[in-house]
């Protein structure tokens, strides 16, 4: 058993690199999906209810509620509404920013300073995402008659958002490692 602990104790650097790889995959993949209608529509409740982001849309919350397509559903009138709302334009821009953050983090082997900046941006992005737990009504189970609703009962949207606590910590760890490497290279 002692040998297992000795081996595990040597895995910290490997774990940090895997954490970085996980951040890169999630950011590039999710950022890339922002180019597709279903993903753009899926973030509307978060953006529309956010005091930090709602200005990107042309219509105020909760007007979006009558224009939401389910994933995989095609309703032309809802698509037209989202075009007028700037749903897709905002999503394309956000996706580009998220992919860019992922690419910055991926530069760790050749540009640790840029990687540290990318991790810092991912940290900040996670903070904003976590604020949706406060601003977005859809993150909590609604009162539809059951006694289990509201806080602490996370809806599917809330469960999606709360996972950003992990992103927050992962970004902090990778930022620290990249900053340390940058400083070491600078001081050589």
CA distance 102 to 2: 38
Contact 116, 141 (CB under 8 A): no
Helix, coil or strand: residue 67: helix
Task: Compute mean pLDDT per 10 residues along the chain, 188 residues long, and list them.
Answer: 93 96 98 97 98 97 95 95 98 98 98 98 97 97 96 96 97 98 94
pTM: 0.94
């Amino acid at each position: 058993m002692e040998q297992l602990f000795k081996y595990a104790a040597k895995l910290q650097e490997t774990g940090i690199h895997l954490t970085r790889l996980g951040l890169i995959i999630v950011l590039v993949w999710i950022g890339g999906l922002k180019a597709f209608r279903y993903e753009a529509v899926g973030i509307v409740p978060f953006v529309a209810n956010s005091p930090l982001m709602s200005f990107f849309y042309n219509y105020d919350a909760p007007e979006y509620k009558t224009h939401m397509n389910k994933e995989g559903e095609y309703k032309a009138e809802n698509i037209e509404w989202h075009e007028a709302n700037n749903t897709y334009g905002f999503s394309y821009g956000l996706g580009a920013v998220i992919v860019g953050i992922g690419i910055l983090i991926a530069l760790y082997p050749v540009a640790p300073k840029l990687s540290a900046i990318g991790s810092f941006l991912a940290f900040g992005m996670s903070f904003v995402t976590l604020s949706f737990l406060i601003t977005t009504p859809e993150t909590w189970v609604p009162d539809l008659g059951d006694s289990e609703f509201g806080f602490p009962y996370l809806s599917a949207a809330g469960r999606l958002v709360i996972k950003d606590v992990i992103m927050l910590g992962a970004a902090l760890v990778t930022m620290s490692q990249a900053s340390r490497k940058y400083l070491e290279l600078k001081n050589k």
